[in-house]
Structure 1
Amino acid sequence: MNWMITMAVIVAYLAIVFCIGSFAGRGRESSVKEYITANSSLGFVVLYFLMGGAIFSAFAYLGGPGWAYSKGAASFFIMGYCALGLVPWWIWGPRAARAGKKFNYVTQAQLFAGRFQSKALSAIVAAVSILAFIQYITLQMKGSAYVFEIASGGRIPFWAGAAIAYIVVVAYVFFGGVRAVAWTNVFQGVFMVVTAWVLGLYFAYSLYDGPTNMFTLIAEKMPTHLLVGPGTKMGYVEYATAVLVSVLGFSMWPHLFMKAYTAESERTLKRTIVWYPTFAIFLVPVLFIGFAGIMQVDPEVLGAPDRILPWMFANMHFGPVAIGMVLAAALAAAMSTQDTITHAAGSIFAQDLVQALKKEPQSEAAATLWIRVSVLGFGLISYLVAVFGGQTLVSLLLGSYGSIVQLLPLTAATFFWPRATKAGAICGVITGVTFNYLIVLKVIPKFAGIHPGLQGLFLNILVLVAVSYLTRPMDRAHVRQYVEL
């Protein structure tokens, strides 16, 4: 049967990824620094795909076409923030790398806790990161579940599809650490980028004789679908603030920030930053797929917009092997991000929360074990949220950015503002995160369409500055170590 051939292709893909991930960390020392940062030895190509896997996720491969299909021009915000998201890292990425080597840091929260001399801040940053991570891992699991559900013709239910992805990813991350994540992302990155271009161009030419005719027809039939502003699916302010919060928050994600500690040199780090915007080019054909479906698929038949890519392939008379390859690429997009974040979530929980609350330091073996157990735990929590929660993939992403962008003032203050104090840092981040979630949970209304994260960020900065000036300055010699990196 065709669905069995399609599933066989996907199973073969999963087996290859599992083998790559499982063997990546073999023969390496069992230490926290190796497990989290690969002993700062990753080169440009590996780092490029490791970072790229974080953006080319289920949100891009499934949520992106879903937004292009349902919201039209609003989906272009994905291109904007992908191109610009890593630019701020040029400012503090190298500084973070120097701090990691100087003070032996392996996580973002360790940097903040060291600068502000506060274990409480370490725990707070860990909690903020983990809350955002759960939403992000959930996003990937939902994408994986859609793939299995459609590939099997509904025979593999949503919950089982999400469980399969959870088991495979957790297995190789558990044993291989960041090296497993890195090398699987190289393989998955090449695979999904090539598939995306073939897919996007194929649909545009086979259904419309090219992208130009496709967009011309959409403009004639649905003129507001290719616009942003009043009377469209997304207003000017909402669109602009979605781009802005994504750009500001992108390099604040702990799993990306921590990659500064994995680079073999600052030159490698800067090359990655310069080349990273090319991933925005890879996203172009992914959006083509969503636009191509507008005139072809009835929204009532499709159901969730995030299903548009796998639905089009599964229902347009393609061979089972081709369908399997395409759905495997969608699965690659989800898993290449899921493994990165699952690894970071476990690392942060063990290092920044458990270690911070313990009175005595752990041994290397105990600390590494805590990380691995945490990887299992956070994967399980995210799985439960994916199965029982709602929301579209892009909505989950934007919601998580609102909390993670609150780490931006901490980063700026760590490297550039000596007058910032521990009390100011703690009060600022708590205020920003709390205000963001109050809006997201609809306890208080959103103001003028501005993204909740930006509203929280504004208050965060005000509180950081005000409380810092009202409290005693920190020791100058200590602060100078960070400001003069």
Structure 2
Amino acid sequence: MNGLSFAGLSGILVLAAYAVIMLVIGYFAGRGQPEGDQKTSRGYYLGGSGLGFVALFFTLYASQYSGNSIVGYAPEAYRSGFTWWQSVPFMIAVIAGYLVFAPRLYAVAKREKFVTPTDWVRHRFGSTRVSLLVTGLMLWGLANYLLEQLVAMGHGISGLTGNTVPYQIGVIAFVVVMLVYSWSGGMRAVAFTDVMQGIALLIGVGVLLVGALHLVGGDWGSVTRYLAENEPEKLGVPSGEDSVNWLSMIIMIGIGAAVYPHAIQRIYAARSERTLKRSLAIMAWMPLATTGVVFVVGIVGIKLFPGLSEDDSEQLVGLIANEVAGINLFFYLLMILLFGGVVAAIVSTADSALLSFSSVISRDLYGRYLAPNSSERKQVAVGKIAGVVAVALLLVLAWNPPSTLYNIFVLKFELIVQIAPAFILGLYWRRLSAGPVFWGMLAGALLAGAWTVFDIDKLYGIPAGLLGLALNLAICTLGSLLTKTPNSPNEDPLPTRTPEPA
């Protein structure tokens, strides 16, 4: 090695440079908005629903490919072997989930000027209890998602700097950066920083793969031979239970990630339906270009760093990046791009969750129930303060993370997926009624939550969230069929097609 690594001052300088870039983007994004937009919910939380193709694509990309996708997925491939190839098809399933309902939801959101995901639920079902339950499940999912990003942030920074920047210091520093630029520019700042980190991440991950293969002699066959000789269980055909779990996770994550609150708000933020569809069309290729590449990096890591413990394997991406940086100056410079891109990706995903969390608090709880006569400016201010409080509480948990990134990642889907019938089925089936939707969501959430809390073994590999969703759907459909009059506050709450602008 030539002594080229990110440990020491060089790593700190790279982090500082990316932090400054994000702050500058946030500042100019806020200044670039029309006068008064920052003080309205629609302007602050959706960027005035004016995101064009480039900004929308990269903000969707950043929302789907979080710190977990880079810092967490490679270690999971390291620990699980080829079984973790499932990460690629379940990312593809997320795009399929978007395409099922996103264009249709966009049409009604544009017509009704929605700001939060709960606006659709309130519009469709006209039920306070359904709206509150959806709000509670979304807040749980967003808090869990934000916690995941804070943990990933710490692991990413400490791993990529060779522990020069400690886990806790890295988290606090970039949380402050995130709060400053998101307060300055809202959705526009979030989307524009997503463009920066998306470009850095795509280039950096590709070079990381090239460098990792170079370190093993450029021979993929040598990696698989190593596995066959030393860890053959990571090459074996999955058992029947593992195969069922694989399919179950594809279904659950495909549906659950598509109805993330911050993902839904990006649907609302699109400039037009055509822009939304173009962005999703390109997104369909990203699982292979990102998750597939990260999977291969994780497999190569088995040979590069054999015998890592579960905790040590969490820093695998940082370990490999430092080795690749030592090949020559070219790789060193491009690992700087990856290094900052990984950290920026984690921060950009965290800011998306935080922005959505703040909007739900300010609009769906404070603005609707606690202070219905408050101005939009005050609601936005309350949302910002609520976001800071939430981050402070989550930092306490992130300080001593309770589990691996993957376990945290799975946990949030158990409950967030239960809102899917209200959005997807509600967009297509006029007979779907508020009462069955409420009881279905509640029953599904209780079943999934209890199964997880009491650590009950999976039923032949099927995750608890999917079992809860099956119960949820059964109650929704059977209950609605038995309901004489569909419970809908509007004559036609579903979207109608409108001509696309030229």
Give TM-score, length-normalised by structure 1.
0.93
Trace 1:199-348 onto structure 2 (pairs within 5 A): 199-230=208-239, 235-283=242-290, 284-300=292-308, 303-314=311-322, 318=326, 324-348=336-360
Choose 439-448 or 474-483, whichever is displaced more. Answer: 474-483
User: 2:325 & 2:267 partners in 1: Cα distance?
Assistant: 45
Helix, strand or coil at the partner of 2:165: coil
User: 2:260 & 2:395 partners in 1: Cα distance?
Assistant: 21
- Following TM superposition, by how much is the alpha carbon of 1:208 offset from its aligned partner in structure 2, in angstroms? 3.4
Match of 1:409 in 2: 421
- Following TM superposition, by how much is the alpha carbon of 1:119 offset from its aligned partner in structure 2, in angstroms? 2.6
Match of 1:11 in 2: 16
- Contact residue 416 and residue 483 of structure 1 kept, 8 A: no
Q: Deviations over 1:311-342 (max 9, x none)?
A: 23346772776665443222122112111111
Match of 1:35 in 2: 44
Match of 1:52 in 2: 61
Q: Which runs of 5+ in 2 are unaligned?
A: 1-5, 498-502
User: 2:167 & 2:371 partners in 1: Cα distance?
Assistant: 43
Helix, strand or coil at the partner of 1:418: coil
Match of 2:174 in 1: 165
Trace 1:378-389 onto structure 2 (pairs within 5 A): 378-389=390-401
| Cα gap change, 1:265 to 1:149, in 2 (>3 Å) | same
Helix, strand or coil at the partner of 2:216: helix
User: 1:228 & 1:58 partners in 2: Cα distance?
Assistant: 29
Choose 120-129 or 466-475, whichever is displaced more. Answer: 466-475
Q: Deviations over 1:323-368 (max 9, x none)?
A: 6544322212211211111111111121122223236343121111
| Cα gap change, 1:274 to 1:150, in 2 (>3 Å) | closer
- Contact residue 420 and residue 473 of structure 1 kept, 8 A: no
* Pairing partner for 1:197 from 191, 206, 226: 206
- Following TM superposition, by how much is the alpha carbon of 1:450 offset from its aligned partner in structure 2, in angstroms? 0.4
The alignment covers a number of residue pairs equal to 483
User: 1:412 & 1:473 partners in 2: Cα distance?
Assistant: 20
- Contact residue 140 and residue 334 of structure 1 kept, 8 A: yes
Q: Deviations over 1:199-232 (max 9, x none)?
A: 111111231323344234323433331345229x
Give TM-score, length-normalised by structure 2.
0.90
- Following TM superposition, by how much is the alpha carbon of 1:13 offset from its aligned partner in structure 2, in angstroms? 1.4
Helix, strand or coil at the partner of 1:304: helix
| Cα gap change, 1:272 to 1:317, in 2 (>3 Å) | closer
Choose 125-134 or 309-318, whichever is displaced more. Answer: 309-318
| Cα gap change, 1:317 to 1:347, in 2 (>3 Å) | closer
Choose 374-383 or 44-53, whichever is displaced more. Answer: 374-383
Match of 1:429 in 2: 441
| Cα gap change, 1:473 to 1:406, in 2 (>3 Å) | same
User: 1:153 & 1:477 partners in 2: Cα distance?
Assistant: 58
Match of 1:456 in 2: 468
Match of 2:129 in 1: 120
What letter matches 1:15 in structure 2? V
Match of 1:24 in 2: 29
Q: Deviations over 1:382-426 (max 9, x none)?
A: 322222332111221121122111111111332122222211111
User: 1:418 & 1:68 partners in 2: Cα distance?
Assistant: 43
* Pairing partner for 2:71 from 56, 62, 65: 62
Choose 375-384 or 113-122, whichever is displaced more. Answer: 375-384
What letter matches 1:127 in structure 2? G
Choose 74-83 or 40-49, whichever is displaced more. Answer: 74-83
- Contact residue 346 and residue 378 of structure 1 kept, 8 A: no
- Contact residue 242 and residue 398 of structure 1 kept, 8 A: no
Match of 1:467 in 2: 479
What letter matches 1:440 in structure 2? T
Identity, in percent, stands at 23
Match of 1:399 in 2: 411
| Cα gap change, 1:392 to 1:170, in 2 (>3 Å) | same
User: 2:277 & 2:79 partners in 1: Cα distance?
Assistant: 37
- Following TM superposition, by how much is the alpha carbon of 1:239 offset from its aligned partner in structure 2, in angstroms? 1.5
User: 1:316 & 1:88 partners in 2: Cα distance?
Assistant: 36
Match of 2:138 in 1: 129
| Cα gap change, 1:19 to 1:395, in 2 (>3 Å) | same
- Following TM superposition, by how much is the alpha carbon of 1:429 offset from its aligned partner in structure 2, in angstroms? 0.9
What letter matches 1:51 in structure 2? L
| Cα gap change, 1:461 to 1:193, in 2 (>3 Å) | same
User: 1:146 & 1:277 partners in 2: Cα distance?
Assistant: 28
What letter matches 2:25 in structure 1? I
Helix, strand or coil at the partner of 2:95: coil
User: 1:135 & 1:424 partners in 2: Cα distance?
Assistant: 27
| Cα gap change, 1:127 to 1:205, in 2 (>3 Å) | same
- Contact residue 228 and residue 239 of structure 1 kept, 8 A: no
User: 1:275 & 1:60 partners in 2: Cα distance?
Assistant: 18
User: 1:302 & 1:73 partners in 2: Cα distance?
Assistant: 17
- Following TM superposition, by how much is the alpha carbon of 1:21 offset from its aligned partner in structure 2, in angstroms? 2.0
- Contact residue 208 and residue 321 of structure 2 kept, 8 A: no
User: 2:160 & 2:345 partners in 1: Cα distance?
Assistant: 16
User: 1:387 & 1:437 partners in 2: Cα distance?
Assistant: 24
